[in-house]
Structure 1
Amino acid sequence: MEGAMFYWISWFFWVYLTFLLNKKNPYRLKLSVIILILIFLSNFQFMVGIFEIQAGGLFILITSFIFISQEKRGAIIYYFICSLIVLIAYVTFHLFEIFDPIWIIIKKEWMMGIVFGYLAILLQKTLKGRLLIVICGTMQGEFLHAYILNKIPFPYKIGAFEYLDVCALIAALLVGWSLLENAGAILQSHFHFFEKGKQKTS
């Protein structure tokens, strides 16, 4: 069922942000509100010319633009370059899927989640940066993909539940990877602490 993965992951993040995350975290309220609005808008769509657009996808794209606009000029340019790389990879993936679908060896959502999660990890060092370039790149890729398919012609809904499933899965994988990175840093700090303690006792 399309949208099931999106709803499960979104509600999990919302519950964590609302009830479990430290209340002093500056992103806690913003992210919980964004997720609630995204869930609410996910069922709405509208037409712009010949293109049908899902309101939820457009909302997270605009939200990402707002977050990026608050960065310094150099960071904004780098975000743009990274988003462009993700955009090209996203459209290329979908075009290969149409013309040569046999190379998709596992479920498409998981394959896209792994590929674009890994690409985001290579391009950005922070979780915030990774999420922003994935959302900007893939959602803009949705627009370009719809434009290309319109030339065939082939109907395509921009930011549909299929896209939201993939986007939610990528976000979950990136959050999981970020937790592993931080866990490594914590373990390393404790290891050095124990080493110092041994040196003092000796």
Structure 2
Amino acid sequence: MEGSLFYWILWSFWVYITFVMDKSNQHRTAVAACILVVIILSNTHFMVEGFEYYASGLFLLILSYIILSKKKLGSLLYALICSFILTISYVTFNLFVIYDPIWVIFEKEWMMGICFSCLAIFLQTSLKERILIFVSGTMQGEILYAYYLRKFEISYPIGTVAYLDVSALTILLLVSWSILENAGPFFQNHFHFFEKGKQKSS
């Protein structure tokens, strides 16, 4: 069912951030509030210039632009290039689904989530930057894809719950990968501790 991934993942994030995350984290309240706004706006939509927009997608896009605008010029240019790469990749993926759907070997949402999370990981090093270029890039891709389909008189709503499913899944994969990356130094220190203990005992 469309939207199930989105609601389950975002509500899980919200519960963790609200009740489990360290309360001294300065970003905790802002992230929890943003998640609630995205959930609340997920079914709100309106028409602009003949295109149907869903409010959650636009909220995420505007928020990503606000965060990007605070970057220094060099970092901003690189982030915009990364975002553009994801935009083109998103449109290309969706066009392949239309013209040659046979290559979609398992669920489209999972294929997109894996592909875009891998791409974001290759392009950026921090979780925040990865989520930022993913959100801005794919929402730009949604708009560009809708404009392309309009040439064939096909109506495509922008930022629907289907898009939010892919976004939530991709963010979950990015968070999971970030946890694995940060777990590496922990295990390395842990094993070094045991190695030192063995050396002392010998």
Using the size of structure 1 for normalisation, the TM-score is: 0.96
> SS at 2:22's partner residue?
coil
CA distance 1:71–1:196, change in 2 (3 Å): farther
Fraction of identical pairs, as percent? 58
CA distance 1:103–1:26, change in 2 (3 Å): same
Give the corresponding residue for 2:85: 85
What is the rounded CA distance, in whole Å, between the counterparts of 1:175 and 1:6 in structure 2? 15
What is the rounded CA distance, in whole Å, between the counterparts of 1:70 and 1:190 in structure 2? 38
Q: Map 1:4-43; keep pairs closer than 5 Å.
A: 4-43=4-43
Residue-by-residue CA offset, 1:93-138 (whole Å, 9 max, x unaligned): 0011111111100000000000001111111111111100110000
Give the corresponding residue for 1:127: 127
Does residue 155 (structure 1) correspond to residue 155 (structure 2)? The answer is yes
> SS at 2:2's partner residue?
coil
One-letter amino acid matched to 1:23: K
One-letter amino acid matched to 1:141: G
What is the rounded CA distance, in whole Å, between the counterparts of 1:33 and 1:171 in structure 2? 17
What is the rounded CA distance, in whole Å, between the counterparts of 2:11 and 2:164 in structure 1? 13
| CA-CA distance at 1:45 after TM superposition | 0.4
> SS at 2:46's partner residue?
strand
Using the size of structure 2 for normalisation, the TM-score is: 0.96
Give the corresponding residue for 1:99: 99
Give the corresponding residue for 2:58: 58
What is the rounded CA distance, in whole Å, between the counterparts of 2:28 and 2:184 in structure 1? 24
| CA-CA distance at 1:92 after TM superposition | 0.2
What is the rounded CA distance, in whole Å, between the counterparts of 1:66 and 1:192 in structure 2? 43
Give the corresponding residue for 2:175: 175
What is the rounded CA distance, in whole Å, between the counterparts of 1:76 and 1:195 in structure 2? 44
Residue-by-residue CA offset, 1:136-195 (whole Å, 9 max, x unaligned): 000000000000000001010000011000000000111111111111221012122333
Which 5+ residue runs of structure 1 have no aligned equivalent? none
> SS at 1:153's partner residue?
coil
Alignment size in residue pairs = 202
> SS at 1:157's partner residue?
coil
Give the corresponding residue for 1:67: 67
| CA-CA distance at 1:197 after TM superposition | 3.9
